[in-house]
Chain A
């Protein structure tokens, strides 16, 4: 049973445009959400996070939106750059989980020059 789902395995976007990566979750106990970026044969790199008490968090070109009622979060990257091409994982955690993260299956973003 996948508690964190990324339904789009891949996404292609033109350089300079907005990239929107989506993530859905089913566990209502999740109260903290994170996005990681991963290049092949490397470990994930933390990008941005959001607590369930917020609905938006922004850091430079990256903005994460959280819709608790829909159990949905999204990562917006604007403007997209070729160097953003990577696999993006969303992850979720809950207060009682000993800080364990549950990861989605990832979305391969390709930014075309």
Chain B
């Protein structure tokens, strides 16, 4: 149980275009979803927290107009990187938690974004 999927697993886009990443909880209802990014050999940095049906809460330094997060249902959250630049190239990972999971977060497999 507690499976989280992400799509796509890998995407290459041109500078200036937008990219959408989907995060789905497959076998549970995710009350809260989180978006992280990870640079090589570094820790996971929390970007934003989203609850179904409400606006995402962004961490300090994360541009909400650049990283659009939509959490339209209890099983789906999307992250859209708008007007992507090469410095946005990174590994993006989502996680989800549910009511009975205490503090455990269940992570998706991640999306490797490369902006050329």
Contacts and interface: CB of A to CB of B under 8 A. Distances in A.
Interface of A: 9, 32, 34, 36, 41-46, 49, 89, 93, 98-106
Interface stretch (B11-19, B40-48, B70-78, B79-87): B40-48
Contact of B43 (A32, A99, A104): A104
Given A34-B104, A49-B103, A89-B44, A99 B110 contact: no
A105 B41 CA distance: 8
A105 B42 contact: yes
Chain A binding surface SS class:
loop
Contact of A105 (B43, B93, B112): B43
Interface residues of B, number: 25
Contact of B44 (A45, A46, A103): A103
B67 interface: no
Interface in B26-71: 32, 34, 41-44, 46, 49, 57
Nearest to A4: B43
Q: Which residue, of B44, B95, B107, B109, has the highest number of chain A Cβ atoms within 10 A?
A: B44
Nearest to B2: A46
A32 B93 contact: no
A101 B46 contact: yes
17 contacts: A9-B41, A32-B102, A32-B103, A34-B104, A43-B107, A44-B44, A46-B104, A46-B105, A89-B43, A98-B32, A99-B97, A99-B103, A100-B46, A100-B49, A101-B34, A103-B44, A105-B42
Contacts of A41: 91, 109-110, 112
B21 interface: no
B2 to A, nearest CB: 8
B109 A99 contact: no
Contact of B106 (A46, A89, A100, A103): A46
B110 A106 contact: no
A34 B105 CA distance: 10
A64 to B, nearest CB: 13
